[in-house]
Amino acid sequence: MLNPERSFELNNLSIEQNINKIIEEGGVDHTPMDYFKSLEGYGTQEIEKDESILESAYKRINNSIDKLSPAERKEYEKGKERGEALEITLTYLLERWFETEDIEVLTQRTTEFDDVVNGTDIIVEFKTPDSIEKVALAIDASLSVKNINEKLNRCHRKMTGKEGDFQVKYFQSQFENEEEEFPHGPIKNLISLVSGLDAKNANKLFDDFAEYLSIRKRDFNESEKKMEKMANDSIKKIFLLQLKEQINFYKTKSDLKPGILDELEKISIIFEEIEASMDSIVCDFRQKGDKVLEEVINFTKGEK
């Protein structure tokens, strides 16, 4: 019988192709900053100022890349592409993974400014019969323990107010409020969490999502069947466990920004319902030993 761990190695030749396909055909881009010029509270001058800050950030990043050896640069580019592909894939899948009978879920990628400058990749909104709650995700597909810990520590600093005035500056909800408006504006009291997958789990996810994109081109109904299968994959429990571990950790902290603890309590209740909806999902070998999940658990136990 083929060793399931070995089967991921056999597929490595197609991983790069799958990643390129997802980036080219996924169709989920960063929210453009120009969109916010028409919204109250975001002036053209303010946006141009932030675009300048973003340009300076890119210059610092490029200067650091220039100092890398060819091998290190290649590894950096590989990690960047994996991260891009994972963000696109999760923007699709998190809505399917976390929706329940009573919870509607919508996702959006942030602007490049909030990605690069504020370190937030995806905003997830949860609409319940009583409220709309949000979490910010920093996605990690770098395969680097150091990078994962850096992101966990940065999220911790944001939650305590030790880094930046707000976690996301450019935001508009995808859900209408009671006034039939889509609320917008910077978010200060936002739960910031880290999520990701290690190599074997990410590669399997890339395989599945690239296949979904191929099927979608020729047969939409068949692609929906593929998406439904992915929506019930036990891999989603890895993400839920990663996020719940961090939420439970922050609920024990006394140094959080005012208002954050209330948000944690609301999200915690939502996640309990989501977890209950996954009771019928059978765990498989992929859930055991995910490196990102292990690092999250080590962080919350103080073993960073």
Tell me which residue of 122, 45, 128 sits closest to 84, measured CA to CA.
122
Strands (E), the chain: 104-109, 122-127, 132-140, 191-196
What are the residue boundaries of the structural domains of the chain, listed by start? 4-300
Strands (E), 90-162: 104-109, 122-127, 132-140
Structure tokens at 257: 């920004």
Give the three-state DSSP class for 62: helix
What's the CA gap between 281 and 259, in Å, rounded? 34
For residues 81 and 19, the answer to whether their CB atoms sit within 8 Å is yes
Which residues of the chain are modeled with pLDDT < 50? 1-13, 285-286
Residue 303's pLDDT is 63
Q: Which strand ranges, in their side-by-side order, compose the sheet holding 104-109?
A: 104-109, 122-127, 132-140, 191-196
What's the CA gap between 135 and 139, in Å, rounded? 12
For residues 246 and 300, the answer to whether their CB atoms sit within 8 Å is yes
Give the max Cα distance, the chain.
63
What's the CA gap between 229 and 252, in Å, rounded? 36
What's the CA gap between 95 and 122, in Å, rounded? 12
Residue 294's pLDDT is 86
pTM of the model: 0.88
Residue 5's pLDDT is 36
Render pLDDT for 111-156 as a digit per residue (tens, 0 to 9). 999 999 988 999 999 999 989 999 888 887 655 667 888 889 988 8
Compute CA 40 distance to the chain's CA centroid, rounded to the nearest angstrom: 27
For residues 100 and 274, the answer to whether their CB atoms sit within 8 Å is yes
